Amino acid sequence: MSFQALVDTSSQVAATSKRTEKTALLAALLAPLSPDDTVVALGLLSGEPRQGRIGVGWSAISNIDAQPSATPTLKIATIDAAIVALAETTGPGSASRRAEQLHALFSAATASEADYLKRFFVGEIRQGALEGILADAIAKAHGVPGTLVRRAAMLSGDLRRAAEAVVRDGRRGLEALGLTVLTGVQPMLASTSTDVAEALAATGPASVEWKLDGARIQVHRSGDEVQIFTRNLNDITSRLPAMVAAVRSLPVASVVLDGETLSIGGDERPETFQETMSRFSQDSPDDRGLRPFFFDILHVDGRDLIDLPLHERLAELERVAGQYRIPAETTGDPAVAATVLEQALSSGHEGVMVKGLDGLYQAGRRGKSWRKVKPVHTLDLVVLGAEWGHGRRSGWLSNLHLGARIDDASGTGSDDFLMVGKTFKGLTDELLRWQTAEFPAKVVSESRGTVSLQPHFIVEIALDGAQSSTTYPGGVALRFARVRRYREDKLLSEVDTINAVRKLLKERPRQESEKNDSSQ
């Protein structure tokens, strides 16, 4: 398939806000492709090459001075081969060799193809082709239910793998993609409730569990082989030797466990999230301070459990790994749940998770049967820009411009972001130094002391609520926002939505003036 056809389809997808039209356009593009070309096309459409990181950023792209081709000649397979060559070009002199490769590629591209390639390499492909829409397009292109495509993608951990299976073997290929031990599964996520009573009203009788401020882990074991994945399905097994040994001691031949790991101090209280994450990045692994806390089990000894209700999964979890279970209480009584919340908070943890006992494990989805309850509002937002500081912060990138994600439920079908506020609060000197070092690699433009950034950095923000705003395009602004931490463990698809911010409007009078906006 010609690369120009993909570029043209992307432009048409970006021009419509209707999900059905986006799906139809993408389905028409994908339908005639071979399995290999399907995998390549999905990477080009999503902005995530199948090769992973290729080490080409804005500085390399901005220096290209190539005359565009008058006629389209590039194939998507040609683009894929060029990406492979770029990824394999390393070592002394690699920068100049990559520059030559990029110049040759851009010289063969038409003007519109070159524009797309620039945006692709710097992570700016945002035409509204979210994974959910791509999954529906694959289903439509090959005449299979969208639910089957999404389930196969979630269980295999990769939409491209599901797409390749359906192109090769149709529905049978999808159905064969079940849970595979030692292959990461997209984790189930939680919705938010303001208190335990509201959560229980939504879930019914539930497992009320301590919510830890740790790092999500998914542990797989087959015989003596153990693999440990992050929430983004990055393999971190080599960094956690003590945890590997603990998992090998469990009385099973094969198992898949979902949970968190947390650094516990000598006083048996949790250490900071940063301390937990730092142990993952140590050159010499030492995870003896990290403890596993498991809250779910997806597979044991040849049996998949994801389609069983939670109460049955928990019984298996207790049998297999009871010594590592997260503290929890089964109840339908708000008073009992409130006591569990108080115990969690007094022990230094974030809050509680309320999980309906009849709920299934919805891999890759933000399920309604899981509800998180935290006393302080927090949102995971993307950094859209930053301002150069003044006074003692002179020379540092300081005040952050924060954005919420526009999701399909908003009616736009876009994966874009809307600005919802600014903040400089909570930024330690360490964070200021880090921002100033890391942000320049993602700068798109700079004007009047403010740098605009590609959506890349995700930050957890604590706030007092939200208020109506005429300043920001989403009509809502954060109140008293302050930085808690950066979330390098999260994806852009996990950034909180504009609707999540608007929901906070209900918790305070709308008539309060905007002068208290945390943008100050």
Strands 351-356 and 366-373: antiparallel
Q: For every residue of 110-177, which 3-state class applies, written as one string? A: CHHHHHHHHHHHCCCCCCCCCHHHHHHHHHHHHCCCHHHHHHHHHHHCCHHHHHHHHHHHHHHHHHCC
Q: Which residue has the tokens 């100049």?
A: 96
Question: How far is CA 314 from each of CA 218, 320, 424, rounded to the nearest angstrom?
Answer: 16, 10, 43
DSSP readout, 428-494? -HHHHHHHHHHGGGGEEEEETTEEEE-S--EEEEEESEEEE-SSSTTSEEEES-EEEEE-TT--GGG
Question: How far is CA 147 from each of CA 21, 86, 140, rounded to the nearest angstrom?
Answer: 19, 36, 11
Which DSSP category does 394 fall into?
B
CB 401 within 8 A of CB 125: no
Catalytic residue among 22, 140, 211, 355: 211
Distance between CA atoms of residues 465 and 354, nearest Å: 22
Among this protein's residues, is 506 annotated catalytic?
A: no
CB 443 within 8 A of CB 436: no
511: left (phi over 0), alpha (psi -120 to 50) or beta: alpha
Q: Residues with catalytic annotation?
A: 211
